[in-house]
Chain A
Amino acid sequence: MQIATLAAGWLETALASLLKFHPDPRPLASWQGQRIQLDLAELKFPLYLVITDPIQVYSRCEGPIDCQLTLSLATLGQLRRGDSLSELIKQDRLTIEGDIQLAGKLAHLLGAIEPDLTAPLSKLVGDGMAYRLDQLARNGWQQGAEQLSRLQRHSGTFLRDELQLAPCATELAQFGQEIDALAQRVAQLDARLSRHQGVE
């Protein structure tokens, strides 16, 4: 089986399910078949989104592409949470070729989705239990995210301050300045050498 075809099918099904939680009952009404190419760092193949109702996803696609996004899954998550496109581009975490407004529109579309497990769960276990399970899952997710964030902070502090293996922010900034100064001196030296070679 072709992994790329399977991945495209999975993403198409996932998007169709997630868009049911969009607050707008017809979230894709303003789209007119625009084609977006997603180059995810984690995948060796591109995915093509044909934005119709429902969204079509393919691993191969002919015809002109309106917008090409190159990013990682983590950045896609940040886009969904509403992080600024220009900030992500400045940080070299996102590259956009083509219509930048489409990228913004896609981010807005995905960002508005608020998954709610209560409705499908209530059909299986009843309203009360569905509410409790939903709360449990949300609290568990929040606590997990907090613990992960805390672990990252503590690991950073331990590596930087205790083991002194990693540089702190000011050291990193100073190192960056030294590199810039060195690059400037090399450029000057190169210019002088060129001048001397021209005289001889």
Chain B
Amino acid sequence: MADGGDNKTHFGYQQVEADKKAEMVADVFHSVASKYDLMNDVMSFGVHRYWKRFTIECAAARPGMKVLDLAGGTGDLTAKFAHLVGATGEVVLADINDSMLKVGRAKLQDNGVVGNVSYVQANAEALPFPDNHFDIITIAFGLRNVTDKAKALRSMQRVLKPGGKLLVLEFSKPKNALMQKAYDFYSFKVIPQMGGMIAGDKESYLYLSESIRVHPDQETLKNMMLESGFDQADYVNMTNGVVALHRGYKF
């Protein structure tokens, strides 16, 4: 069942038919793909690099491991993992959106990240991989765009090896009320304007801000991970809870 129930789900603040959401999200990312990295730097003042670096360090990838970078977009995490797992390891960059995948593949190939990276266009709800296949799965700023999050988490749990770990990096709920107000102002007044000026698409960035607000908060997502079969699920707040890194293990 989709997150909104009755075959309806969230698309930002709108309620839409569940089977239409993937297509609508795809349109957003087709539109922003070419300016995605630039907009990430501008919108987060570069702090997204810190959030991703922290995620990589928590992943504790070793040479020879198999890593799935789900909703990997332009390949920031994949590039780091490819160096860490070495020639004997494997990194799969998966994204539902072919425009993002093309941008990611071009960027990684231009930077010489080749050999142990493969690219798969995949829906997180139905991952096209065998059971118990990956040592590490990461999904950075992608889960909130998935129509049925519980189904996606169960799919990730299936393809993760026993002993493997899932890392979900996602926007979340700030802990401080003042921070929440400042964050709301920035998200709804500043970011869409920036999106309009830099990427020429104000509406897509308004959707991104709205999708963050309807995404489950830290505790809800932690419980969803536990219900999906992950063990020892916990989370680390970053930047006062604007972003949280959720961790879960499969034993």
Contacts and interface: CB of A to CB of B under 8 A. Distances in A.
A59 B84 contact: no
Where chain B touches its partner, the secondary structure class is: helix
A3 to B, nearest CB: 11
Interface string A16-52: 0000000000000000010000000000000000101
Interface stretch (B2-10, B47-55, B139-147): B47-55
B86 interface: yes
Nearest to A13: B49
A94 B56 CA distance: 30
A123 B62 CA distance: 42
Given A63-B62, A63-B63, A5 B84 contact: no
Interface in B54-99: 54, 56-58, 60-63, 80, 83-84, 86-87
B83 A56 contact: yes
B112 interface: yes
B238 interface: yes
B interface, how many residues as a size bin? Answer: 10 to 19
A62 B62 contact: yes
A1 B245 CA distance: 13
A56 B76 CA distance: 13
Contact of B86 (A1, A9, A33, A59): A33
A60 B60 contact: yes
A61 B54 CA distance: 12
A127 to B, nearest CB: 30
Q: Which 8 A-B residue pairs are closest in the complex by CB-CB distance? A: A63-B62, A62-B60, A52-B83, A60-B57, A62-B62, A33-B86, A56-B83, A5-B54
